[in-house]
Amino acid sequence: MSASYEKIYSTVKRIPRGQVATYGQIAELSGIPRQARRIGYALSALDDGSVVPWQRVINSKGEISERPFADLQQTLLKKEGVVFSKEGRIDLTRFQWKPGQRT
C-alpha cells in the first residue's frame, strides 16, 4: 500500500468515538487540502484487519456515501451515540469532530 494513505488513516483514527468528520476535513488534517477524494479512495483500500474507524468519515452533507457497506456504517455510528435524522443524515453542527477537542 502507499505511504500517503498512512497519514490519512492516522487522522481518521484520531476521530473521537461518537463523532464524525468529513472527507475534506480529514484531508486537511492529514496535510493534503482539497484531496477529499483521496480519503475515500484510501479508505476503500482498507482491508478487513484494519483498525481504522472508517465509519466516522462521511461526506460534507452529513450523509454516508453510497456504497455496499453504507447501512452497516450507519449502524456502527448509531452504536457510538451518533444520531441520524429520518433521512439518514447526521447533524454536523452537533457531531462533527472539532480537532483539539479533549476527550
Contact residues for DNA (CB under 7 A)?
1-5, 22-24, 34-41, 43-46, 54-55, 57, 59-61, 64-67, 69, 73
Please name every residue paired with 84 in a beta bridge, in sequence order, or none if there are none: 90
DSSP 8-state assignment for residue 27: H
The nearer residue to DNA, 54 or 97, going by C-beta atoms, is 54
* Residue 42 cell numbers, joined: 484510501
Do the Cβ atoms of 61 and 77 come closer than 8 Å?
A: no
Do the Cβ atoms of 28 and 21 come closer than 8 Å?
A: no
> CB 24: neighbour CB atoms within 10 A?
16
